[in-house]
Structure 1
């Protein structure tokens, strides 16, 4: 049973998937850091929105009592976070597409199979027909 598990666990495909998963996770973190730390502030500055990652549309403001304690929390649509997540998805999707496209281009096409020649019986039939003439 241990031998079967080793064969399963250390097959090439399973290791490839595991390595791909680890790399994709790390790439996702890098992309998130880029979008949140670089792209969103620049995009917000260009469109005079401030830091776009914290942009929100307030449906109802927070209600505080006289002591300054929040009695009803703010209700808001966090569209800046949504924009950042969509950008993360698009960047990762484009990069993965380019990687897969490059891998497919690097694969050598298999040579076309050589057409099978006539069988021995077909050759003998052709010889017989030629001798009859």
Structure 2
């Protein structure tokens, strides 16, 4: 059983998958840092949320006490004071993270597909008389015995 596991674990595609997962996790951290540390601070200022230090901390209170709505826009304050709140800042941050990662994966896959060879031409075709699959090199259909011009290669 140990030999079988070793054979499975050391196959090329399993190792490639492990490397991909590790690199993907590291890339995700870089994207999260870029979003948190570079993109979100200016966005927080543009939205006028100066009382909130971190964009992820933005929240919409659902049952804030009378007169405390402005303080309740902080997710930390809402949690501390047991106020129900929709934490939209964290959601927007995660959507931006996902969009950047998905776009980067799209670019990598696009480049990979560009360099991969085109698929080979099919080796068979349809007989025009009986509609069965025949070889491209055939000059007569083996099913209906119709004469067919060989397809150029």
Query: TM-score of the superposition, structure 2-length normalised?
Result: 0.62
The alignment status of 1:42 with 2:42, answered yes or no, reads yes
**Alignment-derived partner of residue 59 in structure 2:** 56
**Alignment-derived partner of residue 137 in structure 2:** 116
Give, in whole Å, the separation in 1 of the partners of 2:37 and 2:81. Answer: 31
**Structure 1: segments with no counterpart, 5+ residues:** 63-70, 120-133
**Structure 2: segments with no counterpart, 5+ residues:** 66-79, 124-135, 141-153
Task: Count how many residue pairs are aligned between Structure 1 and Structure 2.
Answer: 112
Give, in whole Å, the separation in 1 of the partners of 2:94 and 2:56. Answer: 10
1:42 to partner: Cα distance: 1.2
1:52 to partner: Cα distance: 2.2
Give, in whole Å, the separation in 2 of the partners of 1:74 and 1:90. Answer: 30
Farther off after superposition, 48-57 or 82-91: 48-57
**Alignment-derived partner of residue 31 in structure 2:** 31
CA contact 1:61–1:73 (8 Å) conserved in 2: no
1:43 to partner: Cα distance: 1.1
1:28 to partner: Cα distance: 1.0
Query: TM-score of the superposition, structure 1-length normalised?
Result: 0.71
Secondary structure in structure 2 of the residue aligned to 1:109: coil
Structure with the larger helix share: 1
Secondary structure in structure 1 of the residue aligned to 2:85: strand
**Alignment-derived partner of residue 72 in structure 2:** none
**Alignment-derived partner of residue 106 in structure 2:** 97
Q: Deviations over 1:60-100 (max 9, x none)?
A: 347xxxxxxxx952322111011001111111111111111
CA RMSD of aligned residues (A): 2.6
Secondary structure in structure 2 of the residue aligned to 1:60: coil
The alignment status of 1:106 with 2:115, answered yes or no, reads yes
Give, in whole Å, the separation in 2 of the partners of 1:20 and 1:41. Answer: 31
1:4 to partner: Cα distance: 2.5
